[in-house]
Amino acid sequence: MADDFTHLDAEGNAVMVDVSAKDATERTATAKGSVIMAPETLQRILDRGVKKGDVLSVAQLAGIMAAKRTPDLIPLCHPLMLTSVKVDLTCDPARNAVDIQATCRLSGQTGVEMEALTAVTVAALTVYDMCKAVDRGMRIEDVRLTHKSGGKSGTFDAA
């Protein structure tokens, strides 16, 4: 079973994967997630009526910063020279949701899936933090990788 996990050696010890023999390729990853909240909370975000400030702008910046700090947060992640990080937040009044999408890119020897997932998650946590005074019942939901391309494993698109 340890053979199935790239971050474990033959004895089951944690290791950082050696990517030195891999070719540098263009790599992209996109992740998505949502923060579900009360209708009144979403309206406050839309009206920019949250006391802590512009929720969507702050969460966008937090997501970008988080992608760049992924190896500081997740053990065994390689420090990467990201060439692009885009984080978009949109409000969906029909679902009382803030939807978050992050796309990370680079030319390198390892993928950027963790960076995209970290960007979405930290952006969602920032929305929660900025709105928790008025809505402690918010839910962070459905954080997932939706696209990955580049590298030996090729392209992945979620159904």
Active site amino acids: 129
Helix-then-strand count for the chain, H and E:
4, 5
Instruction: Tell me how far apart the alpha carbons of residues 71 and 19 are, in angstroms, rounded to a whole number.
Output: 15
φ and ψ at residue 126, rounded to 5 degrees: -70, -40
- 108, amino acid identity: G
Reported as type and span, the H/E element at residue 119 is helix 113-131
Residue 56 to residues 42, 73, 96, Cα–Cα distance (Å): 11, 23, 14
**Inter-residue contact 104 to 114 (CB < 8 Å):** no
